[in-house]
Amino acid sequence: MTKISAKDIAALRAKTDLPMMEVKQALVEVGGDEKKAIEVLKKKGLKKVAKKSGRETCNGLVESYTHDGRIGVIVEVSAETDFVAKNDQFKEFVHNLALHVAASNPKYLSESDIPKAELDKEKKGFAAEAEKEGKPAEIAKKIAEGKMKKYFEEVCLLNQPFIKDDKKTISDLLTELVAKIGENIKIARFVRFELGD
């Protein structure tokens, strides 16, 4: 059995913000390999997130942000307890979310919020475009699916790459926050105003 030092545990804990025992268990499980331990913690975190997703969120924060007096944003993020709403990581997430909405101008929170008529119109348009290029049906379908994915990234907040780290989506950040804090957290709603729009 590999001996895990307190220094190894502290280093991984600093990177993940997770409880000491969870970090230690992950390191023991993978024989002290930090990268593998991070993967184990991510998987465990996702399982925890799935378990928490049904719990009621009736606390949280409303954050407003204005940019140069031309763009204004209000976001509401819900949490299970008032304690979490006062947590610095939670506050930072809500603030970053407001900045992101100002910069990225999403129309919808998620794919399920897009009206069916708009979704059908986009799908048909992308499919027709691909067929017009003379691609075989199977390839045309894949091209249309790729364009739909890009469309969701443009219009859905949860699908958008985060402005401060485009390797993560807003959904990824939310999942990470739920795993770290240990409570169900939801982006309830947002609104964005632009002068003259």
Mean pLDDT value across residues 150-170: 95
What pLDDT is stored for residue 49 in this prediction? 46
Type of residue at 57: T
pLDDT at 39: 79
Q: Note the pLDDT of residue 12.
A: 75
Under 8 Å between Cβ of 15 and 38: yes
**C-beta of residue 101 within 8 angstroms of C-beta of residue 75:** yes
**Quick one: pLDDT band at residue 77, thresholds 50, 70, 90?**
very high
pTM for this one?
Answer: 0.69
Task: Determine the Cα–Cα distance for residues 155 and 147; give it in Å rounded to an integer.
Answer: 12
CA distance 83 to 75: 19
Does the structure show a pLDDT above 80 at 33?
yes
Do residues 166 and 153 touch, judged by C-beta distance below 8 A? no
Q: Which residues contact 93 (CB under 8 A, 6 or more apart)?
A: 77, 173, 174, 177, 185
Structure confidence at residue 99 (pLDDT): 97
Query: pLDDT digits over 118-142, tens only?
Result: 988 988 888 788 778 777 778 878 8
Q: Quick one: what percent of the chain has pLDDT higher than 70?
A: 89
- Residue 106's SS3 state is coil
Retrieve residue 112's tokens.
Answer: 């399920």
Please report the domains of the chain, with CATH numbers, ordered by start residue. Answer: 6-52 (1.10.8.10), 59-109+156-194 (3.30.479.20), 115-155 (1.10.286.20)
Whether 78 has a pLDDT exceeding 50, the answer reads yes
- For residue range 90-116, what is the model confidence (pLDDT) as tens digits? 999 999 999 999 999 999 999 999 999
